[in-house]
Amino acid sequence: GEGSPAVGDGGGEARQSPPPPPPGPKKYTFFVGPGNNSELVRATIERRPWWELGKEDDPELNLKWLQVRNKSVAEYVRRMGNRQFLNHLDNLTCIGRKNELYKNLRDYCEREKINVHEIAPPTFIVSAGEMCAEYFEFSRVCKQLEAKNISRVANKVKNAVSAVQAMQAG
């Protein structure tokens, strides 16, 4: 059992087993590779004191977060049986890519008669080049916001000038 003398090494001395680790929560190890929101995932896990960073090649990792684009890597993990699990769904771009996620949210809102802009910020899916219709809409919204900000600042300046003039007149 724990703490009991170990079998001697032939030198006549019995060695004691190392003391058990102090009681506390089990530590889990993780590795986060580049891409696929890695900074967010790593920062989130690091805030949990029961997780500690491990090495990518450690076969005992509890969590390995990678952007897998190579089918052979996914197949290798699948062949390892129950030693490691792979949370990967092939061809799931409908929620895995931001533009597809937004399109699905927008389509859902249209079907349910919900204004998508009440639950999501203005979102533009702009194709390469300035001839894209979404780019023109994006530019129009930016100009509107800029005009509102200029108007708001102008009103603040006007009110401040009026206040100074009132103080000077008094």
pLDDT at 119 over 70: yes
3-state secondary structure of 127: coil
Task: Provide mean pLDDT across the span 105-132.
Answer: 85
Q: Given pLDDT bands bounded at 50, 70 and 90, which one contains residue 4?
A: very low
Question: What whole-number distance in Å separates Cα of residue 163 and Cα of residue 143?
Answer: 30
Residue with tokens 């103080």: 167
Residues 6+ apart with CB under 8 A from 78: 86
Q: Given pLDDT bands bounded at 50, 70 and 90, which one contains residue 8?
A: very low
Question: What whole-number distance in Å separates Cα of residue 18 and Cα of residue 74?
Answer: 39
Question: What whole-number distance in Å separates Cα of residue 121 and Cα of residue 147?
Answer: 19
Region of 149 please: left (phi>0), alpha (psi -120 to 50) or beta: alpha
User: Euclidean distance between the first and final Cα of the chain, in Å?
Assistant: 91
Task: Provide mean pLDDT across the span 23-40.
Answer: 82
**Residue bearing the bigger pLDDT, 136 or 6:** 136
Residue with tokens 């969590």: 63
pLDDT at 69 over 70: no
Q: Are 139 and 131 in contact (CB under 8 A)?
A: no
pLDDT at 2 over 50: no
Task: Provide mean pLDDT across the span 67-72.
Answer: 67
Q: What is the pLDDT of residue 142?
A: 82
Residue type at 95 in one-letter notation: I
